[in-house]
Chains A and B, each alone.
Chain A
Amino acid sequence: MRCLLCHASIEQDVNWDTVLKPVETRVMCAACRETLPLIEGNVCPICNRKMDCNATCSDCQKWEQSDKWQGVLKRNQSLYHYHEGIQEVITQWKYRGDYVLVKLFQSDIERIVKDRRKQWPTAVVPIPLSSERLVERGFNQAEAIARLMTRKPVHLLERLDSEKQSKKTRYERLNRINPFRSKTSVPPHVLLVDDIYTTGATLRYAAKALQDAGCLHIESFTLIRG
């Protein structure tokens, strides 16, 4: 096997596990593994941001104080911290279109899905891309993640705008018409999936659209907590 990031060949350890357990193929070398740090320790119970103590962060307090957004998104779970190293991986994966890098996240995603199987809603809904962006990239990164979580992601949403989120300020992200439209028949519990939680606006707009269509409980899972 070769490391998906640096292409160096990975030496598999030879020990009793090699003989007794099913082969576990590693897709990353140890050095590249460090570019993906898992979120551990104290986090905000709503958005999963890293905190000094287990208190709700100031951003989530703002969300929860507003009448419009209170309780729209019950909880977000993320896998990795945001930093420069992971930004490079995401750029390569999402913007350059190196689809196979989704395998880097596979084992971590599978583990978290196993852990949360009881708590999480069963309907996994990836955040859609605008058709323009989909043609440009060739794949939807949220759907790629969702496919690692379940065999059948549910497509309930449709995206109406096409602008890039990353080019907007926080104010612009929060004050606009909902870019998502939901189908009319929705399950009561939904798990939204996206690649990155930055301000939480995208996920909340999507959750809002689902809630208006009749959804009761909406949680989310993202790869990175920005």
Chain B
Amino acid sequence: MKGCCILVSSLPNTPDSSALCPLSGKLLLKHELHYPDEQIHQWLNEGAVTHISSIEKTLTGRRCMRCGNTKHYLFAEMPCHACQSTCYYCRNCIQMGRVLACQPLYYGASATSYPEHPEPCEWEGSLSRFQLDAATRITAAMASERERLLVWAVCGAGKTEMLFPGLTQALSQGKRICLATPRTDVVRELLPRMKAAFPGVSLEGLYGDSPDKAGDAQLIIATTHQLYRYAYCFDVVVIDEIDAFPFHADPSLNYAAKRAAKATASFIYLTATPRRKQKWAIAFRQLPVVFVARRFHGYPLPVPQLKMIASLRRQLKAGQLPNVIAQHIASQQQRGTRQLLLFVPTIQLAEMLTDLLAAHYSSITSVHSKDPDREHKIQQFRNREKSLLMTTTILERGVTFPSVDVFVLDAGHDVFDEAALVQMAGRAGRSPDDPCGDVIFYHAGKRNAMVDAVAAIKRMNRIGSTL
């Protein structure tokens, strides 16, 4: 995190008069400041807001001071109208507004203090004995400074609830907290739960087109991309699903998360399927870890069955569904006890199979990332209006349906890595009323990812059974 250090040392000390400045703790572009120019000038004169050069030269190239990008191919030149010359801009964070070299970033020194809430939590549930240990560790990490903790908890362990004691304590100390997750759907799902649990605390949910925009709340729930707009303002940063796309693949999001936190901040990472990088960090004791190997209801994870169909790919390519699968779907639907989540690797396949199955099952619906109607369709499935949901990997994590079976078609496809398979299997059996669920991986030949996923699930069940 070299970038962070450079930025910290170049910041002037600012007086306390900035307590009222609404830009406090933010790092924004000119067009994101919705205040009159005189007001901004006044803040600049007072020192509440500082200019920061947006793209800095480094020894070997450039660095975008908003997203930390240093890759040369993610910078480009354009003839700039504002400065009437050729200007560099950052292509990495361009979807959050273009950072141009000739236009500075506006940094509001974070001096705002937040209220101390003595008893903020109104959640009335209780933690299971499996969750308690992790919750204690999380509380301790949040209470101290510069702590890092990885919570390795199986799918359906109740990660959000485990955070509540820690959040309660941090809020009672007047700390500012950010809960970041790579996925918009997760923000949407978490927001009402957190609002219900902490009704007296100012709370905002931020994502691409969220209704909340200001981002001044004490408890922020946001997609990791939104952290590009913050600097040195959170006392606690919780990153949910650290192994999920795009967080694990984009180093600039990690940069943004670190920059959004104060130097003294604690980091809590949550995951069910750590990547190799985190596993190494655990193995070398670089990253403290706490395991939660049992689901909150105490039952083991459903272990996937592997079913090989040699002609699977050929038949899917020809637009047919293999008979075995069609029969399984038919008998599953006839039983009628559980809903069915059907995972497919590509959007085209999802659309093709939905058309094919719609002839037999009226209560089928499908979602994918390009689907404008997806929120509504997921809600329909949740309300049990539909009994069969065809989906791509967008629903692999972060969503809970009480009673489903999970079928994965072509589990050997490249888009399904070990983490994705474990997550998809983890959709089944999440409710204490129905703790089992069938998970079937249909494949045209075993791949490492499948075998590793089954081994990982069995391992967690083994650890859990000794508790």
Asked if residues B94 and A96 are in contact (CB atoms below 8 Å), the reply is yes
Other-chain contact of B76, A100, A135, A136 (Cβ < 8 Å): A100
List residues 272-297 of chain B with CB under 8 A from any CB of chain A.
none
Residues from chain A with Cβ under 8 Å of B80 in the complex? 138-139
Taken residue by residue from 69 to 96, chain B's Cβ proximity to chain A (1 for < 8 Å, 0 otherwise) reads as: 0000110111111100000010100110
What is the chain A residue whose CB lies nearest that of B103?
A138
- Chain B nearest CB, measured from A10 CB (Å): 11
With A7-B73, A7-B74, A98-B91: A139-B98 Cβ-Cβ less than 8 Å: no
What is the chain B residue whose CB lies nearest that of A102?
B78
What is the chain B residue whose CB lies nearest that of A103?
B76
- Chain B: number of interface residues, binned into ranges: 10 to 19
List residues 85-120 of chain B with CB under 8 A from any CB of chain A.
89, 91, 94-95, 98, 100
A136→B82 CA distance, assembly (Å): 10
Taken residue by residue from 100 to 143, chain A's Cβ proximity to chain B (1 for < 8 Å, 0 otherwise) reads as: 10000000000000000000000000000000001111111000
Asked if residues A2 and B73 are in contact (CB atoms below 8 Å), the reply is yes
Asked if residues B78 and A139 are in contact (CB atoms below 8 Å), the reply is yes
Asked if residues B100 and A138 are in contact (CB atoms below 8 Å), the reply is yes
With A96-B98, A97-B94: A139-B77 Cβ-Cβ less than 8 Å: no
With A2-B73, A7-B73, A138-B100: A100-B94 Cβ-Cβ less than 8 Å: no
What is the chain B residue whose CB lies nearest that of A131?
B81
A7→B246 CA distance, assembly (Å): 15
Residues from chain B with Cβ under 8 Å of A99 in the complex? 76-79, 89
Residues from chain A with Cβ under 8 Å of B76 in the complex? 98-100
A90→B81 CA distance, assembly (Å): 20
Residues from chain B with Cβ under 8 Å of A97 in the complex? 78, 89, 94, 98
Interface size, chain A (Cβ < 8 Å): 15
Other-chain contact of B81, A2, A92, A96, A135 (Cβ < 8 Å): A135
Taken residue by residue from 357 to 400, chain B's Cβ proximity to chain A (1 for < 8 Å, 0 otherwise) reads as: 00000000000000000000000000000000000000000000
List residues 229-274 of chain B with CB under 8 A from any CB of chain A.
none
A134→B89 CA distance, assembly (Å): 17
A180→B14 CA distance, assembly (Å): 50
Asked if residues A138 and B98 are in contact (CB atoms below 8 Å), the reply is yes
Residues from chain A with Cβ under 8 Å of B82 in the complex? 135, 138
Residues from chain B with Cβ under 8 Å of A96 in the complex? 94-95, 98
What is the chain A residue whose CB lies nearest that of B80?
A138
Residues from chain A with Cβ under 8 Å of B31 in the complex? 136
Q: Other CB < 8 Å A-B pairs besides A7-B73, A7-B74, A97-B89, 18 of them?
A: A92-B94, A96-B95, A97-B98, A98-B91, A99-B76, A99-B77, A99-B79, A99-B89, A100-B76, A100-B77, A135-B81, A138-B80, A138-B81, A138-B82, A138-B98, A138-B100, A139-B79, A140-B81
Q: Which residues of A are at the interface with B, using a C-beta cutoff of 8 A?
A: 2, 7, 92, 96-100, 134-140
9 smallest A-B Cβ distances: which pairs? A99-B78, A100-B76, A97-B98, A2-B73, A138-B81, A96-B94, A134-B81, A98-B94, A138-B80
Can you name 29 A-B residue pairings with CB atoms under 8 Å? A2-B73, A92-B94, A96-B94, A97-B78, A97-B89, A97-B94, A98-B76, A98-B91, A98-B94, A98-B98, A99-B77, A99-B78, A99-B79, A100-B76, A100-B77, A100-B78, A100-B91, A134-B81, A135-B81, A137-B81, A138-B78, A138-B81, A138-B82, A138-B98, A138-B100, A139-B79, A139-B80, A139-B81, A140-B81
